[in-house]
Amino acid sequence: MIHNIRNIINPVLTLLYPKRCVACDKVLLKIEKEAGLCRECLKKVKLVGPSYCMTCGTPIANDAKELCGNCEKINHIFIQNRAIFQYTGDMKKAMYRFKYSNKRCYGKVFAMYANRYYGRWIRENKIDAIVPVPMYKKKEKCRGYNQAAVFAKEISALTGIPVADEIVRRDSDTVAMKRLNSLKRKKNLLKAFSLQKNVVQFRKVLIVDDIYTTGTTMDEVAKVLKSGGVKELFGMCVCIGEMQ
């Protein structure tokens, strides 16, 4: 019986705004709830922009430059990626809780900011579907949810663009990626993803993830989707590396 009740309550709970500040975890005042951040963190948290790399979305100090150092060297498979926060300070802890501590409610706040800063960009690019970067199934079962899928679902709720989370599958459990350098990361990701359909009907897809580091993961998912016929790939992440 208790089990049943939990099943009914859980989906509803994920629709609520967090009661605590997403960044510092302090209880929010009523007027702060909609922002998802307390007054102090609202000032403290580092957003991306106003100057960022036109390709990957990493904030850049020199706004005369169009691309970051990385994108000057690499040709990404995705066209453009955008991110909301710089992955630093309390946002690092926030991402940890979003991933490991069942803070699915953060998804709503992140999607609200994604829509505020990049809603126009999403509309202008005429995105047909949102694909969250998949998690290895066993891992997802163990952890209970895929945070990228949670973020995708909330963006979908705000934009009306459907989530297509069954198209790409993660076939291997990649080792904790942050410990690997770029080359190893790439090798590790080779054939990590596969297409679950012969043909994908969508022309333009937004790939969604929690953290953007080198863009390798996004490129690999983009590659798989391209092989299924998707023409243009875009990306959206909650956090991205600090200013270059």
Binding site for Zn ion (CB under 5 A): 21, 23-24, 38, 41, 53, 55-56, 58, 68, 71
CA 6, 7, 8, 12 torsion-angle sign: positive
Helix (H) or strand (E) holding 5: helix 2-13
**Shortest distance, position 48 Cβ to Zn ion, whole Å:** 11
- Residue (35 or 158) nearer to Zn ion, CB: 35
CB of 152 to Zn ion, least distance (A): 22
Shortest gap between Cβ of 90 and Zn ion (angstroms)?
A: 7
Q: For residues 53 and 168, which CB has a smaller minimum distance to Zn ion in the complex?
A: 53
What DSSP letter does each residue of 37-105 carry, written as one string?
S-HHHHHHS-B--SSB-TTT--B-S-TT-SS-HHHHH---SSSEEEEEEES-THHHHHHHHHHHS--TT
Q: Which is nearer to Zn ion, 45 or 133 (CB)?
A: 45
Q: Which is nearer to Zn ion, 55 or 216 (CB)?
A: 55
Q: Closest separation between CB of residue 2 and Zn ion, Å?
A: 33
- Buried-exposed string 214-239: b where 16+ CB fall within 10 A, e elsewhere: bbbbbbbbbebbbebebebbbbbbbb
Cβ of residue 242: shortest distance to Zn ion, in angstroms?
Answer: 13
Instruction: For Zn ion, give the closer residue by CB, 78 or 202.
Output: 78
Cβ 244 vs Cβ 61: under 8 Å: yes
